[in-house]
Structure 1
Amino acid sequence: MTRNSSQDNGHIDVIVVGGGNAGFSAAHAAAERGRSVVLLEKGEEDMAGGNSYYTAGATRISHAGFDDIRDLVEPDDRHAATEVPPYSPEEYAADLAKVTNGKNYPDLTEVLVTESQPTLRWLHGLGLKYRLMYERQAYERPDGGYLFWGGLHIGNVGGGEGLIADHTRVAHELGIDLRYGHDVTGLVTEDDKVVGVTYSNSAGDIGELRAESVVLAAGGFETNPELRRQHLGRGWENAKVRGTPYNDGSLLQSALELGAAPGGDWSTCHSVQWDAFTEKNESNRELTNRLTRGGYPLGIIVNTEGRRFLDEGADFRNYTYAKYGAEILKQPGSIAYQVFDATQRALLRSEEYDMPGISVESADSIEGLARKIGVDPSRLSTTVDEFNASIDLDVTWDPTVKDGRRADVEPPKSNWAAPLETGPFYAFAVTCGITFTFGGLKSDTHGRVLGSDGESVDGLFVCGEMLGGLFSENYPGGTGLAAGMVFGRRAGLLA
């Protein structure tokens, strides 16, 4: 059956495609302005939320310290003993430039770092709930206090699931028309203006919806093995998809065919160390982000030959985790093992390292551990012995700062080097989990899609992971949700 949108829907001002954090932010902003908004989500209600649902909810914002953000976070008895260092817009911009090797677009960066806190305050005012992320971003000090590190401090109550539940509730309160199970199949144009979309839905309907503006917030191409191989390179078709199964790049292709200009780095992506062997380790809505393995700065990582191949302590996890999945993919079989002794194991985040069915082996000796994971025992033993012997034990180990406690081996471990000497020993199997692709559409700072001639494509906006230009090679943790809300809101304020 085909429905005619002009008969079925009345007047629509704004169509938002994609029901993740960015799409909802755009829809809220437009609805607050009195616009009639329809949000089309490809997933059914029990599969909705895009990649945002699968996140831990971490959101990187600039601020002047704890007193500046205390009113934004839920009360916690630990607050009185907590230190949250200031994180200025200048630091935020410097971190983006550092991890992308200067490939981030300066105009988008300036908007993101200056509007991150005001935008989060806007969402908080609408009813989204936030908290300090103690379990991910702070360690308890010997005196019982807590020090937050890495520029990332705030997250949603309930993680990604809580984020999407809050967004959905707000959307209903604002009168936004949410339509699940709607696959947007193309863009409708008249006289070089985008005037709507075509769609099919799970009820078997096909049709067309028309509106004054269309906001694209439907993610990148990370679920499409062919496009991954084409743009990211050989081997990327084997990566595990962490999040939504729906981001196949089809709407990116539609916009490009329409004349939109590509933006950002299409050859790299956000990829993490991901549980290698757990059953259903792709698009798992029950375990979501718990399949990430982010404790590697506390231990060492070896490949299936028993050799280290990267600097586990190059920087805080927030600044390395999104690129190290790609390094795992390059290893034999695209498999590696995070190795810890009993002392380090006790410090690992429970949400990631105590989840059901985890890919882990343990043994009372390094040699015994090697046999359990199919690695040559003498090779792994040599790797560990050389690592242990190279550590500068005169430097105090402190996971809350870049402590400079170095292991002088090749490759080095620049911080947080601690000997693996107390059994039992643990090996967690990891592979490459792809989160989202960095290439997208080019836009101005208000989300207006730009054509190859540099002029805006009338009626078409973009936000979220479809917006290219902020990230390349790597990414500071928590910046994706921040960018989604900032540029989603900006698009919604004009659409």
Structure 2
Amino acid sequence: MVDLTRRFDVLVIGGGNAALCAAISARRAGASVLVLEGAPKFYRGGNTRHTRNMRCAHDAATEILTGPYTEEEFWKDLLLVTGGQTDEELARFMIHESKDILNWIVEQGVRWQPSLGGTLSLGRTNSFFLGGGRAMLNALYRTAEELGVDVLYNAEVIDLKIEDGMFLSAQLKQPVGGKTEVRASTLVAAAGGFEANIEWLKEYWGEAADNFLIRGTPYNRGAILKMLLAKGVQETGDPTQCHAVAIDARAPKFDGGIITRHDSVVFGIVVNKHAERFYDEGEDIWPKRYAIWGRLVAAQPDQIAYIIFDSTVVTSFMPTLFPPIAGATIAELAGKLELDASALEKTITEFNAAVQPGTFDHTILDDCATQGIAPAKTHWARRIETAPYLAYPVRPGITFTYLGTRVNKQSRMLMKDGKPSANMFAAGEIMAGNVLGKGYAAGIGMTIGSVFGRVAGREAAKNARN
């Protein structure tokens, strides 16, 4: 049993990667730590359960990474995907710190493995967790508990007492025991974004949000974020920006995870409900572009689209939970998708006629392109002509939102007057908007969580001692 009458040095709200990195870091610095996870134990960990890898800078190849990935290359990649909408000081700090995270995370019991075939060409830039996100999460929990971190599940925080930028206590509600006040010298907020709060999403997206699918936990409803912003913490990030990918339209409303994501876009074409293409499927290397497709599909009629390809490419990407829909002819496929057959045939015929000769190589920006159609497909363009013809229906799959709390390099929250909070820190999705103004690069969410989680825990422990 956790003694809630005592005063803890550090209170961590949240139960995913960022929260656990903060808890472990604080505990290793000598602080007493309580973690409040709002979900039941089985669903602990937020979106960390669904992850596979982390993007970290490194100067040389390792046993699990095929080559160097310098800080400057990481920065250029981040600059590209965000269109410059990032806090450069915080972003460069995160990238520099990520080099040490590769080893630090192993010291906390996490294990790496080489990347699998078909995993977005990430063998050089991203480290993959042995056993996936859940195994990584279990390792962090095991280490935290061995160090003496207290953890409570089904622990819903319903209020925060904050005065003049100083955290005093949290009001906790549990299924058994009712409401309790929890006191701590410092607070680390690591409770995720508001992606599972459809009503909040609709404030910015309108009725279209009803057609969004939530890739991760149904527990990330943004309650802690809303409380902090209401109590004087400065916000950062665009509320309409998020990490959103194209996922299978047959996926569940919540918690479908990574096995519902489609990485087949570059191997075919994407059409909307009118059987019309609407964006360049070969714009750039997939890890730098896969996260734009959620927003692209969100802008289409009824928030639905279809990835169309043929039987020659079915082994070129990771399989997903749902099998592709097949047709012996384009017309038969169109019928199964409830698309206009003549419109789909016209789109594919025009696309095939526009494909120019080239040497296909999905690992580089190759010379396989179209000519004379709009939108163009600038790389990896190949004719769709070998039956059976295949398709995946896709909808926007929201991973996490970018509206969050403003922080400095110590992960300390800034108040609306610009002054640092007395004793409040943030890590993970709840502050990701500092780094991600828009766009996404594979594995960077885990980088943000690990780097700023470690910093937040260390700084919170120091603050508590003082």
TM range (shorter): over 0.9
The aligned runs of 1:89-168 (5 Å cut-off) are 89-137=71-119, 148-149=121-122, 152-168=125-141
Q: Hey, what's the Cα distance between the residues in 2 that align with 1:289 and 1:37?
A: 31
- Give, as a single letter, the amino acid of the residue that structure 2 aligns with 1:420: I
Deviation at 1:196, TM superposition (A): 2.3
SS state at 1:178 partner:
strand
Q: Hey, what's the Cα distance between the residues in 1 that align with 2:367 and 2:200?
A: 41
- Give, as a single letter, the amino acid of the residue that structure 2 aligns with 1:473: K
Cα-to-partner distance string for 1:467-491 (whole Å, 9 max, x where unaligned): 0311123111110001100000000
Q: Hey, what's the Cα distance between the residues in 2 that align with 1:206 and 1:299?
A: 54
Cα-to-partner distance string for 1:323-366 (whole Å, 9 max, x where unaligned): 2111112222211111111111121212x2xx2xx263101211
> In 2 relative to 1, CA 125–136 (structure 1 residues): closer, same or farther, beyond 3 Å?
farther
TM-score (norm 1): 0.89
Residue 183 in structure 1 maps to residue 178 in structure 2: no
- Give, as a single letter, the amino acid of the residue that structure 2 aligns with 1:65: A
Deviation at 1:234, TM superposition (A): 4.8
Aligned CA-pair RMSD: 1.8
TM-score (norm 2): 0.94
Aligned to 2:42: 46
SS state at 2:332 partner:
helix
**2:274 touches 2:343 (CA, 8 Å); kept in 1?**
yes
Cα-to-partner distance string for 1:124-144 (whole Å, 9 max, x where unaligned): 112111112223436xxxxxx
Residue 426 in structure 1 maps to residue 390 in structure 2: yes
Aligned to 1:17: 13
Q: Hey, what's the Cα distance between the residues in 2 that align with 1:442 and 1:189?
A: 16
Q: Hey, what's the Cα distance between the residues in 2 that align with 1:203 and 1:320?
A: 46
Aligned to 2:430: 466
Deviation at 1:84, TM superposition (A): 2.1
Residue 35 in structure 1 maps to residue 4 in structure 2: no
The aligned runs of 1:265-276 (5 Å cut-off) are 265-276=238-249
Match of 2:291 among 319, 322, 330: 322
Deviation at 1:151, TM superposition (A): 5.8
Cα-to-partner distance string for 1:122-170 (whole Å, 9 max, x where unaligned): 01112111112223436xxxxxxxxx55863311111111121111111
Cα-to-partner distance string for 1:253-277 (whole Å, 9 max, x where unaligned): 1111111000122221111111102
Cα-to-partner distance string for 1:27-78 (whole Å, 9 max, x where unaligned): 01001011111000000101111111122x2101111232xx32xx4xxxxx
**1:298 touches 1:344 (CA, 8 Å); kept in 2?**
yes
SS state at 1:272 partner:
strand
> In 2 relative to 1, CA 60–136 (structure 1 residues): closer, same or farther, beyond 3 Å?
farther
Residue 346 in structure 1 maps to residue 315 in structure 2: yes
Residue 240 in structure 1 maps to residue 234 in structure 2: no
Q: Which 10-residue stretch deviates more, 208-217 or 189-198?
A: 189-198
Q: Which 10-residue stretch deviates more, 222-231 or 307-316?
A: 222-231
**2:115 touches 2:122 (CA, 8 Å); kept in 1?**
no
Residue 376 in structure 1 maps to residue 360 in structure 2: no
**2:211 touches 2:395 (CA, 8 Å); kept in 1?**
no
Cα-to-partner distance string for 1:417-453 (whole Å, 9 max, x where unaligned): 1111111111111111111001100010111000111
Q: Which 10-residue stretch deviates more, 126-135 or 238-247?
A: 126-135
- Give, as a single letter, the amino acid of the residue that structure 2 aligns with 1:255: L
SS state at 1:211 partner:
strand
Q: Hey, what's the Cα distance between the residues in 2 that align with 1:8 and 1:303?
A: 54
Deviation at 1:455, TM superposition (A): 0.6
Aligned to 2:448: 483
What are structure 2's unaligned runs of at least 5 residues?
461-466
Q: Hey, what's the Cα distance between the residues in 2 that align with 1:136 and 1:48?
A: 29
Deviation at 1:105, TM superposition (A): 0.6
Q: Hey, what's the Cα distance between the residues in 2 that align with 1:159 and 1:150?
A: 15
Residue 65 in structure 1 maps to residue 60 in structure 2: yes
What are structure 1's unaligned runs of at least 5 residues?
74-82, 139-147
Aligned to 2:361: 398
Matched positions, count: 458
> In 2 relative to 1, CA 189–330 (structure 1 residues): closer, same or farther, beyond 3 Å?
closer
The aligned runs of 1:160-239 (5 Å cut-off) are 160-190=133-163, 192-239=165-212
**1:366 touches 1:377 (CA, 8 Å); kept in 2?**
yes
- Give, as a single letter, the amino acid of the residue that structure 1 aligns with 2:391: A
SS state at 2:7 partner:
coil
Q: Hey, what's the Cα distance between the residues in 2 that align with 1:432 and 1:473?
A: 16
Structure 1 stretches of 4+ moved >4 Å: 148-151
- Give, as a single letter, the amino acid of the residue that structure 1 aligns with 2:72: E
Cα-to-partner distance string for 1:384-443 (whole Å, 9 max, x where unaligned): 1111111121x2000111113112221111111111111111111111111100110001
Q: Which 10-residue stretch deviates more, 233-242 or 159-168?
A: 233-242
> In 2 relative to 1, CA 321–175 (structure 1 residues): closer, same or farther, beyond 3 Å?
same
Q: Hey, what's the Cα distance between the residues in 2 that align with 1:106 and 1:133?
A: 29
**1:132 touches 1:153 (CA, 8 Å); kept in 2?**
no
Q: Hey, what's the Cα distance between the residues in 1 that align with 2:166 and 2:111?
A: 38
